[in-house]
Amino acid sequence: MTKVIAMAGKGGTGKTTTSALLTRYLLAKKATPFLLVDADSNANLNELLGLDVGLTLGKIRQELKGELPPNITRDQFMEMKIHQALIEETGFDLLVMGQPDGPGCYCAANQYLAMTMDKLAANYKYIIVDNEAGMEHLSRMNLRSIDYLLVTSDPSARGILTAKRISEITAPLGLQIKKQFLLVNRAPQPVPPALQEKIDEAVNDSGMELGGIIPSSEALINQELSGESYLKLDDSADVIPTITAIFDNIFADQD
Domain span including residue 233: 3-254
List all residues 6 or more positions away from 251 whose beta carbon is below 8 Å from its beta carbon.
148
| pLDDT tens, N- to C-terminus, the chain (255 residues) | 899 999 988 888 999 999 999 999 999 999 999 999 988 777 789 999 999 998 988 788 778 777 888 888 887 888 888 889 999 999 999 999 876 555 555 565 566 667 767 778 889 999 999 987 666 666 566 666 899 999 999 999 999 999 998 888 877 777 789 999 999 999 999 999 999 999 999 999 998 999 999 999 999 999 989 999 999 999 999 999 999 999 999 999 875
The total domain count for the chain is 1
CATH number, position 132: 3.40.50.300
Cα separation, 66 vs 18, whole angstroms = 37
Cα separation, 102 vs 115, whole angstroms = 23
Could you read off the pLDDT of 152-179 as tens digits, one per residue? Answer: 999 999 999 999 988 888 777 777 899 9
**What confidence score (pLDDT) does residue 98 get?**
77
The total of other beta-carbon atoms located within 10 Å of residue 8's CB is: 28
- Strands (E) in 51-107, as ranges, are 87-89, 92-96
- Of the chain, the end-to-end C-alpha distance in Å amounts to 14
